[in-house]
Amino acid sequence: MKKRTKTLSAIITGVAILIGGIWLINESCYPNVPAFDNHFTREFLNKDKKVASGFYEFKSKTGQYTMWFPEEYTLLSENGDYAKDNKDFEQWEAVPSSETKAYRGAIYVRMAKDNKRNHQDYLESFFKDHLISEQPKLIKTGKTEIYFSSAHFEINEKNQVVEDIKQKPNSFYAYIIDKASNKVIEFSFETSGFKNKQFEEEKQRKWLMEILRSVQFYG
C-alpha cells in the first residue's frame, strides 16, 4: 500500500512538473511587456508583429480593422468594458500599466458603421457629444480620413464640465472614416485622472497620431 502511495505521489509530482514546464515554455514565447502579460489583451495582439518601437499590431475580433496598440497598455475585460456585435460593432477601453513610463491616459475605441449620406451629421454629432467647440482638423491618409481635435476640460464648482482654453489639452478625440466603406472608428484619449510627470504635448500628439494613422480597415 505504501509503495502504491509513493508511486502515485511520484506520478502526480511528475505531471505537475511537466505541466509547469509546458506553461513556462508557452509564456516565454510572448514578449515581456504588460500587454502580453495580460491574457485577455494578448488575444488581440500579434506577438510576432512589433510594428514600431513600443507598439504591436492589434487585430479586431470583428476582422474589420487593425491598428497599433501600445505595449504598455492592457484592455479592460470586465462586463461592459468590451463589447462586440458580429462584424458590425466593437468597443473597448485600454489603460496603462502601473509601471509604465509612457503617456498615461485611457484609450477608448468604438468601431461601427454609419450612413454615407449622413456622414457629416455623424461627424458633427461625435464632436458635439464630447463638447468640442472648435472645428476638427482633417488629416488624410491613403485609405482613411481622420478628423482630430482636443481640449482641456475641468469640473467647476457646480459640478459642470467646462472647457479651459488656457490649459494644455487633457482630452483628445478622433473620428476615422474608411474611404472605401461605411466603417468608422470613434477614438478618444483622456489623461484626466492620470499623473503625467513629464508631459510633453507635442510628443504626446505625435504618439497619438502614430496610432490614428495606423488604422487599416478590412472586409
Q: What is the CATH number of the domain that holds 162?
A: 3.40.1000.10
Segments forming the whole domain that contains residue 144: 31-217
Residue 202 lies in a domain: yes
Beta bridge partners of 137: 148
Instruction: Look at residue 194 in the predicted model and tell me its pLDDT.
Output: 66
Q: Is residue 11 part of a domain?
A: no
Whether residue 2 lies inside any domain: the answer is: no
pLDDT of 11 = 54
pLDDT at residue 62 in the model: 95
Residue 17 lies in a domain: no
The answer as to whether 106 is a domain residue is yes
Residue 60: how many other CB atoms lie within 10 Å: 20
Q: Per the domain annotation, does 149 fall within a domain?
A: yes
Per DSSP (E only), the strands in the chain are: 55-59, 65-70, 73-75, 83-85, 89-96, 106-113, 137-140, 144-151, 153-155, 161-163, 171-178, 183-190, 216-217
Does residue 16 fall inside a structural domain? no
Number of domains within the chain: 1
Nearest to 168 by CA among 98, 81, 105, 93: 105
Q: What is the pTM of this model?
A: 0.82
Q: Average pLDDT for consecutive 10-residue bins of the chain (219 residues)? A: 56 48 54 94 94 95 96 89 93 84 82 80 89 88 95 78 79 94 94 64 88 94
22 within domain boundaries: no
- Asked if 89 and 83 count as a contact pair (C-beta separation under 8 A), the reply is yes
